[in-house]
């Protein structure tokens, strides 16, 4: 049987924490008034941040799955 477990519990927990923090920091809306040029730049940066936040969310899902697989492995009898 093929196992999907590819990282340990500490690495999975670290990935989960980092991805949660990345999503929180990148989804926040940029602040600050300014001319039209600055708004266009903020808009482009906001698209990039949402893409990065999506990647962090995928990493978080992967890390969550790894954490659950590691917990399941602890309860299995060899």
Give tens-digit pLDDT for 16-35: 888 888 878 777 655 556 67
pLDDT of residue 39: 81
> End-to-end CA distance of the chain, in Å?
14
12: domain range?
8-75
3 in a structural domain: no
1 in a structural domain: no
38 or 31, greater pLDDT: 38
74 or 63, greater pLDDT: 63
Rounded mean pLDDT of the chain? 79
Q: How many residues comprise the chain?
A: 78
68 in a structural domain: yes
61 in a structural domain: yes
Query: How many structural domains does the chain have?
Result: 1
2 in a structural domain: no
**What is the distance between the alpha carbons of residues 51 and 56, in angstroms, rounded to a whole number?**
9
């Amino acid at each position: 049987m093929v196992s999907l477990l590819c990282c340990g519990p500490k690495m999975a927990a670290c990935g989960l924490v980092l991805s949660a923090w990345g999503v929180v920091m990148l989804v926040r809306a940029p602040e600050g008034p300014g001319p039209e040029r600055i708004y266009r730049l903020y808009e482009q940066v906001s698209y990039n941040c949402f893409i990065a936040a999506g990647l962090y969310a995928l990493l978080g899902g992967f890390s969550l799955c790894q954490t659950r697989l590691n917990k399941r492995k602890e309860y299995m009898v060899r």
